[in-house]
Amino acid sequence: MTPTIEIDHLTKRYGSTTAVDNLSLQVPKGSVCGLLGPNGSGKTTTFKCMLGLAQATLGAVRFDGAPLAPQVFERLAYVPEKSMLYEWMTGAEHLEVVRRSYARYDSARAAELMASFGLDPNKKIRAFSRGQRTALMLVLAFSTRPDILVLDEPASGLDPLHQRSVLDLVIDAAAGGATVIFSSHQITQVERAADRLAIIKNGRLILEGDLDSLKSSEQIVEAIFEQPPSLNGIASDPRVRGTVEAVERELLVDGFVLRYRTRESGVDGLPAGEGVFLPCSFWLVDCLELLGRHDDAHALFERLLDLANDVGLLSEEYDPKAKRLLGNFPQAFTHLALVNSAFNVAPHLPSPMHRRHAHPESRRPR
């Protein structure tokens, strides 16, 4: 059977730099292919060459066995990594452009997706956050009910809930017969949505195949060390130490770490005056341990534990001025960070960790 998407020995050079190197890949009809690779690996360049936005140096791309032609775009949707929306237009005006351009446009579907992502159709794009821009581009793409979807980092900038929604949209589209290729640098996204996997590095394809087959062929390698591997090389890296020093200098409030610092509302979609972000504070605990500042790490870890409520749970944020927990509660990422930090600080604690909370009644009331 002829694959819906066929990339045949594709090469793209920019001067002396080879962005894509002899890449060959096939995506069968109705399947989802996850193109996995780090930033700069050639994913975006591959998509641009596929869609005629960049001219390939060598090789060919075929859709249903034929080269790219104008009529293919009637049933193809593309979501680029960077926003291509018009700053001066509203969401509704973008939807109107798509309605006039695509015979397949489904206005009910568009309205459903706008509501799902919580987008205001009357808001101008210049007032959209990065995540909202990505969401609108996804609405424009899926509202045409395309047969082929090319999605470049489609979950970029979205919160975890909407990231899952995007992956569900991909799965549903494939279940309806669409063929999808999407890029990501997160293996969890590919595992959730894709049935095929292609990994590229430095423009070269290093692994490709059916995801279930690749999983079944995996091997477990065990290594036994007489002494645990040393992390001193990482700890002495000036970039690590410099990052920690910058965070302590710029983002600490009462010893806890802010997610960001801004006094103005609406800067890149960020509200002003948020509380400290507890997962970031646990990250600082881990870094202090790594740098050998065990007493500082232990002290911060103890302070973070003291923030927990009466049943030992933490939220997403904490307001040092009001001395209360804020945001989602309980917060999964915070508790994952807590467990990770506990493993890191445990070897250097003066006594077993469980002694500290062995008597809940001894804890101060909230």
Q: Is the pTM of this model over 0.85?
A: no
pLDDT at site 361: 40
Task: Examine the pLDDT at 285 and tell me if it is beyond 60.
Answer: yes
CA dihedral sign of residues 71, 74, 80, 83: positive
Say what the alpha-carbon torsion angle 238, 244, 246, 248 is, to the nearest 10 degrees. -150
In sequence order, which ranges of 307-361 are alpha helices (DSSP H)?
A: 332-345
CATH fold of the domain at 5-216: Rossmann fold (3.40.50)
Q: Which residue has the higher pLDDT, 225 or 200?
A: 200
Where does the pLDDT of residue 270 fall: very low under 50, low under 70, confident under 90, or very high at 90 and above?
Answer: very low
Of the candidates 112, 54, 59, 58, the residue with the CA atom closest to the CA atom of residue 78? 54
Task: Examine the pLDDT at 360 and tell me if it is beyond 80.
Answer: no
Phi, psi for 114 (deg, rounded to 5): -60, -45
pLDDT at site 144: 96
Give the H or E element holding residue 32.
strand 32-36
The contacts of residue 323 (CB under 8 Å, 6+ apart) are none
The pLDDT tens digits of the residues spanning 311-339 come to 778 888 888 888 888 766 677 788 888 88
Phi, psi for 360 (deg, rounded to 5): -55, -30
Question: Which of 81-90, 255-264, 298-307 comes out lowest in average pLDDT?
Answer: 255-264
DSSP label of 323:
T
Tell me whether strands 148-152 and 276-277 are parallel, antiparallel or unpaired: unpaired
> What residues does 150 pair with on adjacent strands?
78, 181
Of the candidates 310, 309, 312, the residue with the CA atom closest to the CA atom of residue 324? 309
The pLDDT tens digits of the residues spanning 222-247 come to 666 666 666 666 777 788 888 889 98
What residue spans define the domains of the chain? 5-216, 232-362
Q: How many secondary structure helices (H) and strands (E) does the chain include? A: 12, 15
Where does the pLDDT of residue 57 fall: very low under 50, low under 70, confident under 90, or very high at 90 and above?
Answer: very high
Residues 349 and 289: beta-carbon distance below 8 Å: no
Residues 345 and 331: beta-carbon distance below 8 Å: no
What DSSP assignment string belongs to 132-150?
HHHHHHHHHHHTT--SEEE
Of these ranges, 20-24, 230-234, 346-350, the one predicted with the greatest mean pLDDT is 20-24
Where does the pLDDT of residue 66 fall: very low under 50, low under 70, confident under 90, or very high at 90 and above?
Answer: very high
